[in-house]
Amino acid sequence: MYRRIFLSLSLAATALCQLDLTSCSSTDLHCIENRISASHILTELPNFVTYPIQDDPFYATPANISQAKPGQILKVEHHTNVSLYDIPPGQSLSRIMYTSVDNSGQVVPATAAILWPFTPKPFRNSDKFPLVAWAHGTSGIVRQCAVSIQRNLQYDFRAVFTLASMGYAVVLADYVGLGSDQAFNYLAFKLHANDVVYSVMAAQSAFPQLSKDWVSFGHSEGGGVAWAIGERQAIRPIPGFLGTIAAAPPPFPIANTAPVGSSVFTAFLAFTISRLNGLNLTAIFNPVPLQVLQYVQSIGGCNDAGFAAFGTFTAEDIYSNTSWPLSQEAVDFARDYSVGSRPLGGPMLIIQGSADTVVIPEGSALGFKNTCASQKNNVSIEYVSVAGQDHNPSLYASQRIWLQWIEDRFNGVKIKPGCQHNNLSSPIGNVQLAERFLVEYEKPWITIYSSTFLPESLQAGHLGFVEPNTSAPTTSRSN
Ligand SMILES: *[C@@H]1O[C@H](CO)[C@@H](O)[C@H](O)[C@H]1NC(C)=O
Ligand SMILES: *[C@@H]1O[C@H](CO)[C@@H](O)[C@H](O)[C@H]1NC(C)=O
Ligand SMILES: *[C@@H]1O[C@H](CO)[C@@H](O)[C@H](O)[C@H]1NC(C)=O
Ligand SMILES: *[C@@H]1O[C@H](CO)[C@@H](O)[C@H](O)[C@H]1NC(C)=O
Ligand SMILES: *[C@@H]1O[C@H](CO)[C@@H](O)[C@H](O)[C@H]1NC(C)=O
Ligand SMILES: *[C@@H]1O[C@H](CO)[C@@H](O)[C@H](O)[C@H]1NC(C)=O
Ligand SMILES: *[C@@H]1O[C@H](CO)[C@@H](O)[C@H](O)[C@H]1NC(C)=O
């Protein structure tokens, strides 16, 4: 159970004063914890439908998981109370708990939301709801960061509300460990790909009105997941797959280079590498930065609390060993969990803002190039570079392209063979760059990744983007 944070107006007012990201020294535990709770209260709590998540019995694992195989339904909430969510008028929501598998092949509980359009977009005389499986970006690393418990479902009109407005039913997997009572393995793309694929099977079994055909679509962390789904479909396909869209994907979740950066996302990833590959956290972190990340997790803090944990700290402030990405554990993780250079079970559209400061374009460009080269162009990949747009803004600027691509797949439009690189740019110019509106009404001045939040010097290259270091000692590459 998380330590509860109580919200009061006076506390919120005090909190606002404490959000100066330069205010604490990296050894002042008390100061940093105050800054974290201030950020959590102001920017995260208002967007949660239930806090703490344990108060919603939907997220409790039922006893009948013991007999379940992957992709089976454990619970169905047909009509979620939409007055608790900020979804658009006319749309409705369901939630399911189902089973997926973890890194050791164990059956584990997972949760997902299904966002329903007012009416389904008709395709080829079908009255089914065309299914898009959404793979979300980084939301945090504990249960509370499930997107199904966020009033705006995290991506609002950037993607999921727009898809439902067009008549698609959107299945939003939370990924095991976000929502369900499990450890979360941040950036382990192929594990999240299991969670998404099984969410499709489970949703289809619970709701026969969903189409058998489906497209996957993800952004940021979810872009890597969408890519991993394409790779999974080449070796362990489930029926109905029409293709995948990887927006702002980091094919290489960590660069095996030194020194490490100061991004809290990389620090979040260290927890996964500790769990999956045995990285010793006390040997790489300075004591207070490790304690404050543990504090973030103990209060059910997500991305914004994580940003407040590090503020403007340098890598030297955070780590006692800034070379830890060269460690055998990090090299093994990069080898086992990067995507690219493998066959794909369907066509892929890559969307990448050319000015993305969170997942920089070099990573997806390299993953694209490596995959086309290693597969001798025996794939169908279209890489669309969105000129001048940043991480989230690129989703808006390319909306017409991805909506058309999804529609073409459901219409059975012939797939273009081979690899194409296209540039999308405005013939008018002077375009808007910032994302200036929010669905999180009570979150007045910040959205995650917005260019207004982090100082510019901290924005570059938050996630690894170069290839795993092949000169570092490795064992054989596994799937
Ligand atoms: C678990 O129980 C729910 C109903 O409570 C049912 O819908 C589901 O099929 C069951 N799953 C398994 C694997 O037995
Ligand atoms: C839905 O949630 C609202 C707001 O909390 C509450 O007033 C209402 O009673 C709930 N409706 C149902 C059917 O539970
Ligand atoms: C790659 O790994 C080797 C061996 O661990 C190391 O010496 C080298 O510095 C690494 N390369 C980069 C670019 O960090
Ligand atoms: C982890 O590192 C710390 C600090 O270097 C050390 O004291 C501890 O023994 C290590 N733990 C393991 C399990 O190796
Ligand atoms: C830092 O980590 C690297 C990679 O594991 C290791 O080779 C190096 O010895 C460590 N440095 C110190 C001072 O422990
Ligand atoms: C091309 O890829 C498909 C799908 O992975 C595979 O079935 C086929 O054998 C490949 N063709 C060649 C010439 O490699
Ligand atoms: C797209 O833009 C990049 C970078 O400006 C350029 O290198 C590339 O040639 C362009 N590609 C096409 C197809 O126009």
Which mutation among 65, 67, 69, 75 tests ligand 1's pocket best, with the greatest number of atoms within 8 A of CB? 75
Pocket of ligand 6, beta carbon within 6 A: 234, 343, 378
Same domain, 76 and 212: yes
Within-domain flag for 369: yes
Nearest ligand to the CA of 75 is: 1
Same domain, 129 and 274: no
Which mutation among 48, 81, 82 tests ligand 2's pocket best, with the greatest number of atoms within 8 A of CB? 81
The answer to whether the beta carbons of residues 19 and 39 sit under 8 Å apart is yes
CA distances to 77, 391, 464 from 358, rounded to whole Å, are 35, 6, 10
Last residue of a domain, one of 300, 332, 364: 332
Within-domain flag for 450: no
Nearest ligand to the CA of 342 is: 6
Same domain, 211 and 273: no
Each residue of 372-428: pLDDT tens digit? 999 999 999 999 999 999 999 999 999 999 999 999 999 999 999 999 999 999 999
**Ligand 6 center–CA 378 separation, angstroms:** 6
Same domain, 223 and 213: yes
Number of H helices, E strands in the chain: 14, 10
Nearest CA to ligand 3 atom 9: 257
Is the entire prediction scored with pTM above 0.85? yes
Within-domain flag for 469: no
Give the contacts of 66 (CB within 8 A, at least 6 positions apart).
none
Within-domain flag for 451: no
Nearest ligand to the CA of 380 is: 6
Last residue of a domain, one of 266, 301, 332: 332
pLDDT at 39: 87
CA distance 87 to 91: 7
Pocket of ligand 4, beta carbon within 6 A: 280, 282-283
Nearest CA to ligand 3 atom 14: 257
pLDDT in tens, the chain (479 residues): 455 444 444 444 455 555 677 789 999 999 999 999 988 988 888 889 999 999 999 999 999 999 999 999 999 999 999 999 989 999 999 999 999 999 999 999 999 999 999 999 999 989 999 999 999 999 999 999 999 999 999 999 999 999 999 999 999 999 999 999 999 999 999 999 999 999 999 999 999 999 999 999 999 999 999 999 999 999 999 999 999 999 999 999 999 999 999 999 999 999 999 999 999 999 999 999 999 999 999 999 999 899 999 988 999 999 999 999 999 999 999 999 999 999 999 999 999 999 998 898 999 999 999 999 999 999 999 999 999 999 999 999 999 999 999 999 999 999 999 999 999 999 999 998 877 665 544 443 333 333 333 344 433 334 444 444 456 554 333 32
CA distance 123 to 348: 21
CA distance 18 to 432: 31
Same domain, 83 and 199: yes
For residue 115, what are the domain limits? 58-253+338-424
pLDDT at 477: 32
Same domain, 321 and 273: yes
Nearest CA to ligand 3 atom 5: 472
**Ligand 2 center–CA 24 separation, angstroms:** 41
**Ligand 3 center–CA 468 separation, angstroms:** 10
Within-domain flag for 107: yes
Same domain, 193 and 289: no
Give the contacts of 133 (CB within 8 A, at least 6 positions apart).
170, 171, 173, 196, 197, 199, 200, 214, 215, 216, 217, 229
Last residue of a domain, one of 424, 442, 469: 424
User: What's the CA dihedral at 280, 281, 287, 289 to 10 degrees?
Assistant: 160
Q: Which of 252, 335, 330 is nearest to 284 (CA)?
A: 330
How many domains does the chain contain in total? 2
CA distance 251 to 348: 13
Amino acid at 261: G
Same domain, 236 and 277: no
**Ligand 4 center–CA 281 separation, angstroms:** 8
Cβ neighbours, 10 Å, residue 215: 30
User: Looking at residue 146, which CATH number applies to its domain?
Assistant: 3.40.50.1820
pLDDT at 56: 98
Same domain, 267 and 130: no
**Ligand 5 center–CA 93 separation, angstroms:** 49
